[in-house]
Structure 1
């Protein structure tokens, strides 16, 4: 069972991180160490060439990892990214992104996980990007 709810995530964002709310992320599911998000399509996320921009995908992946980490350790607003590595696998369509994240290991000080991003409606065709990320956890 997840140690944080979608409503608690949005409460933290309203109070501390309004930029996350500006992205318009939709939380579809939160499990223990997992989350699934939907990033609605916006013209502002498209780069020249008609594809979703890398910074958009990186930001969404980072948000997903933050949520998945808190689903394991509970409210930890001060959990911070220490590394994020992204591999762009294929050109995303100019549509919404589906984001699936899972924490692979959560220790006392660090959490490590992976995020896969898909063009909505094309999830069966494989991810458009794959991310690995490490988070530093605050003392509990």
Structure 2
């Protein structure tokens, strides 16, 4: 499916619609098959012990798949997460960004399903894996 938004379009969308978190994320790559987004890890993302918190990893997976959906549909701000399953597989490296590689498995008229693999920047093994489902609002 052809892309309807570029990385710059997606960043501008995040800045406009989600200014409270947009600075936390950067788009590293976008193709027809995959979107790669980065969480710029800061102290606010850490839990005791210095590792990235589960809610921060969830946010990265959620934003990643959401942006993958928008890249293909256009700026549909009201697409919402309806389900998420996340497996935390290993402790992220301390003090480095997290990278999320997303792939859409289904993009229908009313639902989108995507997978997200999260990595510590520079490491080969994923630290978490998530599957998310989004409800897509009806066209007006």
TM-score, normalised relative to structure 2: 0.91
* Deviation readout 1:29-50 (Å, 9 max, x if unpaired): 1222521012122122111112
In structure 1, stretches of 5+ residues that fail to align are: none
Alpha-carbon displacement from aligned partner over 1:45-76 (angstroms, at most 9, x marks no partner): 11111211001000111100110011222221
> Higher helix share goes to which structure?
1
Partner residue of 2:69? 69
TM-score (norm 1): 0.91
The alpha carbon displacement at 1:20 in A equals 2.8
CA contact (8 A) 2:27 2:38 kept: yes
- Per the alignment, residue 100 of structure 1 pairs with 101
Please identify runs of 4+ aligned residues in structure 1 that moved more than 6 A: none
How large is the Cα RMSD of the aligned pairs?
Answer: 1.3
Closer/same/farther in 2, CA of residues 32 and 20 from structure 1, 3 Å limit = farther
State how far apart, in whole Å, the 1-side matches of 2:130 and 2:23 are: 22
1:87, 1:73 → 2: CA distance? 28
The gaps in structure 2 that reach 5 residues or longer are none
